Amino acid sequence: MTILELKHDILADNKREAQVIRDALARSGTLMVNLMSSPGAGKTSTILGIAKRLRDKLSMAVIEGDIDSKVDSLKVKEVGVTAVQINTGGACHLDVPMMKPAIDLLDLDMCDLVIVENIGNLVCPADYDIGADLSVMILSVPEGDDKILKYPLMFSMCDALIVNKTDYLELPSNNFNIDRLKERMSTLNPHALIFETSAWLDSGYDKLCAYLEDAILAKKSRSTT
């Protein structure tokens, strides 16, 4: 089982190195969120929804992970938020060696919140610790409520699940049952908070932002004690 052992070693090394990032974030009292989802589930629109509400209340920055292109970091910069782009050039997830230079480009003492938009992938990013305080995943309604059965790791490890594109729940073609999802989630990961958002309706972000603000306050109180 050479390959499995190698994967184990890579993940263990990565976890150990993630502590360096975690220590830096602890010193500055910065909350870092690892935002994960399938491609197109709404990571960037969620960041924009949060930025709209929090950018004048606190200092935030975004680290944009993409295999290629700068499309998303440009969108974030347009709303006046600092954004650092990581292009993985093929890799299906972010890891600590990619994160470190991006973190170095930020003045953490001036950041209350850093949101990391991971590669759009419901599988691999869940395996890699990037030093974040919170793992938040998005599932969009068009993807279907059965994804929790097929991709259980990310659903089981996240601190919060955002169900996005809730406006699609009203479509005649919809077969996403949000109660069924919550029931399955309560068995698999009962501690995860569940938020419901719609970028199109610009709804659901207030609760999500309150959650982030509480977490920032808790982090700051820990960093100063």
Instruction: Give the residues lining the site for its own copies (CB under 8 A).
Output: 3, 6, 10, 38-40, 66-69, 71-72, 90, 92, 119-124, 140, 142-144, 146-147, 149-153, 165, 167-168, 171, 173, 200
Please identify, using beta-carbon distances, which residue of 36 and 54 lies nearer to its own copies: 36
Q: How far is CA 34 from CA 2, 99, 171, 224, in A?
A: 30, 11, 31, 23
Please identify, using beta-carbon distances, which residue of 26 and 188 lies nearer to its own copies: 188
Q: How far is the CB of 33 from its own copies (least distance, A)?
A: 20
Q: How far is the CB of 26 from its own copies (least distance, A)?
A: 29
Please identify, using beta-carbon distances, which residue of 9 and 104 lies nearer to its own copies: 9
Q: How far is the CB of 147 from its own copies (least distance, A)?
A: 5
Q: Cα torsion at 174, 180, 182, 188 (round to 10°)? A: -130
Q: How far is CA 148 from CA 41, 164, 177, in A?
A: 14, 15, 12
Please identify, using beta-carbon distances, which residue of 165 and 219 lies nearer to its own copies: 165
Residues pairing with 65 in the sheet: 86
Q: Whole-angstrom Cα distance, residue 104 to residue 101?
A: 5
Q: Whole-angstrom Cα distance, residue 108 to residue 22?
A: 12
Q: How far is the CB of 73 from its own copies (least distance, A)?
A: 12
